[in-house]
Amino acid sequence: MMLAAEAARSGVQRRGRTLRQLFAPRCLQLPHLAAVKFLVFLAAGVGGLMGLVPERALGGPVVPVPLASLWQVADAAVVARTQTKSSEKTASGTIHTRFTFVVLDELLPAPVPQPLVIELPGGEAEGWVEVVSNTPTFLVGQVYLLLLRQVPGRGWQPVQLDLGVFSLSSSEDGRMSTSPQVFVTGSAGIEGGSRWTWDAFWRLAREARPVARAPRLRREWLAPSVSAPFQFGRPLARLFESDLGEAVPFAVDPRGDAILGADASRSAVSQGLAAWSTVEGSSLRLIDGGDAVSLDVACPDPQGQSFKVRFRDPDDAIPPPVDCRGILALTSYRANTRETKVLGAQEFARIRCATVSFADDWEQCPNWNPCNLAEVATHELGHAIGLGHSSERVPEPNSRLRDATMYAQAHFDGRCAALRDDDIDAVRFLYPVPAPLSILGGVVLGAAVADTPYVHRFELALAVPPARWRLSRSDYCGLQVDQQGVLSGTLPGCLCWSRGVGAPPTPAPTPYLFVTAEDASCRSHSRFFTIPIELPDGTTGPLPSCTPTSGLPGAVSPTPTPTFTIACVLPERTPPSATPVGTAAQTPIVTPTPTVTPVDSWSLTPTPSPRGQPTSTPTPEVTPALSPSASATESPACVGDCDRSGVVTVDEIVRMVNIALGIFPTTYCVAGDRDGNGGITIDEIIDAVRRVLEGC
């Protein structure tokens, strides 16, 4: 993971100063400071986000596949623009997302339908998010080059999942020119690198498929368009059981791998579970949960086995290997976004279910052995607990990230289930000791009787005093929570829907109230609860919606909790030895008027963010046909002023973070690229945050 050495636990240290030194350490809950708090969350957390959420998506370890092999197995190839996306939750609890594309050009003789529809596992619906490894990322409005195969029962699918998806970009980063250099960027699972010049890409394509036809480039394919970002892998998520000392059991498919057998397969999984469970300074504990009763992926699982390891690709979801190269396993998890914790200035949803599925069809491959299976198991379990790849850069110049077991490509160097330094730092950050606070108790609170006073006291564990409480949203009228965690009020025989549902809702959804507790370490836990309400006549049928009245707290919106400010208790930081690695610490939140005070301090030297390393290009075979246009306007002096309005906004900071994560191209905010090197760094985001606070 990039977390430790790069940013997250070092307070985003650059040039001898940290955000802890730049801004006063406060946990601010003042409504008018919400935007400022969010800005510093973005700046302080971007380094960690780049490790916890990969540039493309979570992915299983891959034996790199040559680009030529991908072209050879493709049934079709197109340039297409994402038009729409929609997610829905199935009866079993799984989530699927349907994307529609406008086909702009066909690159192989095989025709594809217009519009092109691709349905992929994962997505977000009804307060749940499902993350599936190796699922490609698509932005609505963005143009992609897709290598496709027709899969029985699934229709058109990208070849080898995200390995068949490529984005197009220009070296000019939005500055119009008559002949910009065009690049094609693909997955980290492609052998030899993931970025090519336009000419080099098509030279390789034609060598593999002589009938492949390079399209005539259009400038709008490279320019930013109105887009709604969507990426499998959002939001950040983790297990909460370990915070209370509970072990998480993974039920194991008793069949084992078809080649290696049940005993060797079980041993590989056990080694992976032990690797993550024996890290000093981490609270995480994973155990063997016995034989899986069912291989279904229902969530919650009716057998109580919500965490599973399966062999032989039961869903036939993993593409077969290409010449013993390809995807070795897939991991999916489902997280409840209604329950979250904040630690390290980052918000994490709660992982409720996770499934690791190993591939089949590797019978003839010499690299499929017990030791390598243990490495794959350890990598996949890392995804199941919420970790992304340490890096998806190919080649990765940072040996620490490249050596991590959570690197995007499999190592198969005899490490088996061993973790490396970056993996260890990652799990310590995600599952720290001491563990974060927890609101205790079940989801269903004690029953209330309508028009009768109601009281419930919430209980906390592991909170650093003083703790503060707030009722963030409620479908129940007349309730409030005090700073001792006591929920009280008189509930009428009706509901004050806070979710914009009709009156009365049909069918009636479950009413909830959302409670947050935050302690002096700036960690918080947000949970949802429901209260059964009994009417005076003894019935408990669906309740009508309340009519708003001035005398009924919460009839229009939840009763506001008084704002408060508490100081964060931050652990002391000790200087590192030769290689500086920050220890886990809470990242402070900014006050509205920061004072910058330079002090002597050790700092991390940022690892250069490698841009694509284009293949050397001989005499061009294809010349991009881009029509000239007006010369570019000079970038404004104010870093982060993406729209050149003279001010930097929260939305523009969000845009810069998305660019730094690789979700948006740099063309979305040329002004954020202060040094003009084709990317956006943490330093530039911090500079833009200052522009929000101090003005341009």
Domain finish residue from 523, 545, 570? 570
Q: What is the pLDDT of residues 415-437, one digit of tens each?
A: 999 999 999 999 999 999 999 99
Q: What is the pLDDT of residues 383-419, one digit of tens each?
A: 999 999 998 888 888 999 999 999 988 999 999 999 9
Q: Is residue 390 part of a domain?
A: yes
From residue 210, how far is each of 188, 350, 537 by CA, in Å?
Answer: 25, 49, 79
- Average pLDDT score over the chain: 76
Quick one: 505 and 551 in the same domain? Answer: yes
Q: Is residue 37 part of a domain?
A: no
Q: What is the DSSP letter of 376?
A: H
Q: Is residue 38 part of a domain?
A: no
Q: What pLDDT, on the 0 to 100 scale, is given for residue 484?
A: 94
Q: What pLDDT, on the 0 to 100 scale, is given for residue 292?
A: 95
φ/ψ of residue 387, rounded to 5: -90, 145
Quick one: 408 and 305 in the same domain? Answer: yes
- Among the listed ranges 112-126, 249-263, 631-645, 672-686, which one has the minimum average pLDDT value? 631-645
Q: What pLDDT, on the 0 to 100 scale, is given for residue 394?
A: 81
Q: What pLDDT, on the 0 to 100 scale, is given for residue 105?
A: 92
Quick one: 170 and 244 in the same domain? Answer: no
φ/ψ of residue 306, rounded to 5: -85, -10
Q: What pLDDT, on the 0 to 100 scale, is given for residue 60?
A: 63
Q: What is the pLDDT of residues 472-523, one digit of tens each?
A: 889 999 999 999 999 999 999 888 887 654 444 456 688 999 999 999 998 9
Quick one: 593 and 640 in the same domain? Answer: yes
d(CA 406, CA 331): 13
Closest CA to 52 of 108, 98, 8, 109: 8
Q: What is the pLDDT of residues 277-326, one digit of tens each?
A: 999 999 999 999 999 999 998 888 889 999 999 999 999 888 888 889 89
Q: What is the pLDDT of residues 521-541, one digit of tens each?
A: 989 999 999 999 998 888 887
Pull the structure tokens for residue 148.
């496709």
pLDDT band, very low/low/confident/very high, at 641 (cuts 50, 70, 90): confident
Quick one: 459 and 496 in the same domain? Answer: yes
% pLDDT > 70, the chain: 72
Q: What is the pLDDT of residues 80-103, one digit of tens each?
A: 999 999 999 888 778 999 999 999
Tally of domains within the chain: 4
From residue 206, how far is each of 76, 108, 218, 365 by CA, in Å?
Answer: 14, 11, 21, 28
Q: What pLDDT, on the 0 to 100 scale, is given for residue 393?
A: 83
With 50 as the cut, is the pLDDT of residue 604 above it? no
Range of the domain at 448: 440-570
pLDDT band, very low/low/confident/very high, at 179 (cuts 50, 70, 90): low
Q: Is residue 21 part of a domain?
A: yes
What is the secondary structure of 298-355 as a DSSP string?
Answer: -SS-TTS--EEEE-S-TT--SPPPSSS-EE-EEEEEEEEEEEEEEETTEEEEEEEEEE
Q: What pLDDT, on the 0 to 100 scale, is given for residue 485?
A: 96
Q: What pLDDT, on the 0 to 100 scale, is given for residue 219?
A: 79
What's the gap between Cα 522 and its chain centre?
22
Quick one: 565 and 582 in the same domain? Answer: no
Q: What pLDDT, on the 0 to 100 scale, is given for residue 308?
A: 97
Quick one: 369 and 270 in the same domain? Answer: yes
pTM, whole model, 2 decimals? 0.71
How many residues are listed for the chain in this entry?
Answer: 696
Tell me which residue has tokens 């049928």: 541
- Among the listed ranges 19-28, 177-186, 320-329, which one has the minimum average pLDDT value? 19-28
- Report which residue type is found at 605: T
φ/ψ of residue 414, rounded to 5: 90, 10
Q: Is residue 622 part of a domain?
A: yes
Residue 523 sits in a domain whose CATH number is 2.60.40
More confident site: 539 or 454: 454
Neighbours of 513 (CB within 10 A): 22
Quick one: 295 and 398 in the same domain? Answer: yes
Q: Is residue 31 part of a domain?
A: no
With 60 as the cut, is the pLDDT of residue 227 above it? no
pLDDT band, very low/low/confident/very high, at 124 (cuts 50, 70, 90): confident
Q: What pLDDT, on the 0 to 100 scale, is given for residue 404?
A: 95
Cβ(537)–Cβ(450) under 8 Å? no
Q: Is residue 435 part of a domain?
A: no
Residue 265 sits in a domain whose CATH number is 3.40.390.10
With 60 as the cut, is the pLDDT of residue 142 above it? yes
Quick one: 407 and 489 in the same domain? Answer: no
Q: What pLDDT, on the 0 to 100 scale, is given for residue 545?
A: 84
Which one of 67-71, 187-191, 272-276, 506-510 scores highest in mean pLDDT?
272-276
Stretch (H or E) spanning 279: none
Quick one: 324 and 417 in the same domain? Answer: yes
Quick one: 457 and 551 in the same domain? Answer: yes
